[in-house]
Structure 1
Amino acid sequence: MEFSGFTQDDFNVFSIDGLEARMDALITHVRPKLTWLGEHYAPLLSTLAGQEMFAHVAKHARRTKNPPNDTWVAISGNPRGYKMLPHFQIGLWETHLFVWFAVIYECQGKPQIGENFQNHLGDIHAGIPNNFVWSEDHMKPGAISHGSLSAKNLNDSFQRLKDVKKAEILCGCHFDRDEVVKMGPSDLLKSLDGVFRQILPLYKLT
């Protein structure tokens, strides 16, 4: 399969009513593209991170009633899963495509990760591009631009990662759906590659 990029129909999947109908559309149209992206970027991230990385496409298998509002492929250093580790994600909400470095609530060792981030606060604040975004909840589509955050704001988020059991932190980039569709596959792949290289230092700090 050649990667053909994303279309408006891919994003419109999330407006389909009903669990079964939406899942059918996700599996048919979106999941093959996420599978391709995971298989494409896992070798690159393996090289960049200095360890073997594995792709995990979201299955949404536990859902019995509510259809998913987003979907993704995660790339982690464990062939069996990703939630327990810092990892990378590429995925879609109805409004945008996201690319994340992610430490979510199941992740082990969050206090040490928060400590490591605090110890490199200046480098992180200076090194992340202003148009990148941060989130403290992977279940919500919103995010805060890096350019609007002070070093103290970041430090507070890192402290929360240390202190709060359910705390999360994600950093990466959002691409508006119309922008993604106009970019086409080649430009999109280049952009995703660039995002991964910018957020890789965060992964290495974990």
Structure 2
Amino acid sequence: MFKDSDFEIFDVASLTDRMTLIRTIIDPKFEQSAEIILPILNTNGQQWYAHIAKHLRRTTNAPDNTWVAFAPNKRGYKMMPHLELGIWADHVYLYLAVEENMKPKETATIVSKMMSTREMIAKLANNFVLSTDHMVNHSTALTLTTYDAAVQRFANIKHSEVLVGIKLLRGDKQFKDDTDLSQITEAISLLLPLYNKLK
């Protein structure tokens, strides 16, 4: 699991130095996480794959977050609903993500599917949050009102996404104890039925 010291990587300003730390400290943790998460995902009848972010297009600014995405496609994940485990300077997150790469070809289909999950969304625990951009460090409480607004925004605005999941904040006791991935795997078990509606 992640430690409080891992968050300090994002204090390093240099692109080269931060990427070196991401590659040597964070990516191995993503690989270890994948060894636990993939067997859970594979129980839904699909073969899932882990895709660790490479940030290959960055030439100047260091990434503010990094992640590993899980999808039943060996080639990529952005063009389909997927799960994403990532880290910012102040939290670790696990999201079920529908990103803008599905537009415009799949917009109507995925919007209809997202609306069909409203009852399931309403039953998620109150620690679940909603984000509309995986590249912006901002989220809101997940309610039917915020969810409906996010789906509507996704339908009408090109650069918008719908991400539902949990955040584990820096300073949490678990990061001091270097504990397991139980909160992450529990969230995955709650999000998989949603994924099965969206796939």
- Which residue pairs with 1:30 in the alignment? 26
- Which residue pairs with 1:153 in the alignment? 146
Partner of residue 95 from structure 1, selected from 90, 93, 102: 90
Structure 2: any 5+ residue segments left out of the alignment?
A: none
- Which residue pairs with 1:69 in the alignment? 64
Q: Residue type of the partner of 2:178?
A: G
Distance 1:98 1:120 in 2: 21
Q: Residue type of the partner of 1:38?
A: A
Partner of residue 108 from structure 2, selected from 106, 111, 123: 111
1:183 shift after superposition: 4.7
Distance 1:34 1:169 in 2: 23
Correspondence 1:143 to 2:134:
no
- Which residue pairs with 2:179 in the alignment? 185
How many residues align structurally? 195
Kindly indicate whether the alpha-carbon contact (under 8 Å) linking 1:43 and 1:52 is maintained by their aligned counterparts in 2: no
2:63 is paired with a residue of what secondary structure?
coil
Deviates more, 1:110-119 or 1:79-88: 110-119
Distance 1:160 1:205 in 2: 20
Give the TM-score, by structure 1 length. Answer: 0.88
Distance 2:107 2:124 in 1: 21
Distance 1:64 1:92 in 2: 21
Deviations 1:116-167 (A, max 9, x none): 222332x134222111100111111110112xx3x34322322222333332
Partner of residue 169 from structure 2, selected from 172, 176, 193: 176
Correspondence 1:204 to 2:199:
no
Distance 1:140 1:110 in 2: 22
- Which residue pairs with 1:50 in the alignment? 45
